[in-house]
Amino acid sequence: MEWLVERMAALGMRAERDAAGNAVGIIGDGERQVVLLGHIDTVPGVVPVRRENGALYGRGSVDAKGPLAAFVCAAARATIPDGWQVVVVGAVEEEWATSKGAHYAATRYRPQWCIIGEPSGWDRITLGYKGRLLAHYSLRQPGAHSAGQTPSAAEQAVAFWNRVAAICAEMSVGQERAFDQVTPGLRSINAVSDGLYETAKMVIGFRLPPGVSPHEVEARLAGLAAPAEVQFTGHETAFRAEKNTPVARAFLRAIRAEGGTPAFKVKTGTSDMNVVAPVWRCPIVAYGPGDSALDHTPDEHVPIEDFQKAVRVLTDVLNALPSDA
């Protein structure tokens, strides 16, 4: 974090670590803002940093220090029009359900444009992300002989998961695209016994399409886990931006100028777009180099040529900021 703040300052930005712990760099003095919101945290796991076959390997090269680095490079290279300021934010805790950095940024800025730093591929523009909900299941019960009729804690946890999967399938009938389905995922499951009591714990994640709120899913599951307890966290509503906006059109032009054939996409994950878009209500897209299929994998890498193209695209977008609001 400190290194990034120092690097942004060296590139001519007014740089600081804000109250949430975000790394922030600002260029320009205008009243109108474009916020480039990336995230600096990564999931656990060490991917050895190296250059190999024209690609940069390392944890976060795709998700999402690569897009954040492209933001910094582009902001430093761009000629920012009068009346504008570019705010680069390296947010903390995006990979956690808290999204602490984005929630803080949402209260601090009021941009006219926003670009979220997530891997889209250098010639693709992301318009939307699914919502999210996390269910934390816990069951503790007296132990019993395995030859008896009492279901074990582990068996009851599996039965609850099967009910959840069936409900999600029912809610997704007729929806062909993954983006439009209620998708459950078994994040973790564990069952132990100390000889007297059995304990089963499980975390289930839900990816939710537009039109399905986290509270709706929570209500559908209420009471189904008894006698277990279930706590719900990470409530995020799905968001999809319009494609005919000034920021989207700027990306279309810039990608074509770089020799690409641009296209829009939506993602089945969740990002900080879900946090800030409903608050800022401004033109917004997500963009960044890298293949999102490599997110969180031991093979995470980004082609260096793609990174360089993304920097040029972003620089063109910033150079083209309109002189009028």
pLDDT tens sequence for the chain (325 residues) = 789 999 999 999 999 999 999 999 999 999 999 999 999 999 999 999 999 999 999 999 999 999 999 999 999 999 999 999 999 999 999 988 889 999 999 999 999 999 999 999 999 999 999 999 999 999 999 987 666 678 999 999 999 999 999 999 999 999 999 999 999 999 999 999 998 999 999 999 999 999 999 999 999 998 899 899 999 999 999 999 999 999 999 999 999 999 999 999 999 999 999 999 999 999 999 999 999 999 999 999 999 999 999 999 999 999 999 875 4
Q: How far apart are CA 31 and CA 320, in angstroms?
A: 17
- Residue 313 DSSP SS3: helix
**What is the end-to-end Cα distance of the chain in Å, rounded?**
33
Strand-pair partners of 303: 55
Taking the C-alpha atoms of residue 141 and residue 53, their distance in angstroms, rounded to an integer, is 55
Buried/exposed code over 88-97 (b: 16+ C-beta within 10 A; e: otherwise): bbbbbbbbee
Structure-token pair, residue 216: 């709706």
Strand partners, 287: 117
312 closest CA partner among 74, 1, 13: 74
> Are 125 and 285 spatial neighbours (Cβ–Cβ below 8 Å)?
yes
Which positions are annotated as active-site residues?
A: 41, 94
Instruction: Give which of 194, 310, 317 is closest to 247, Cα–Cα.
Output: 317
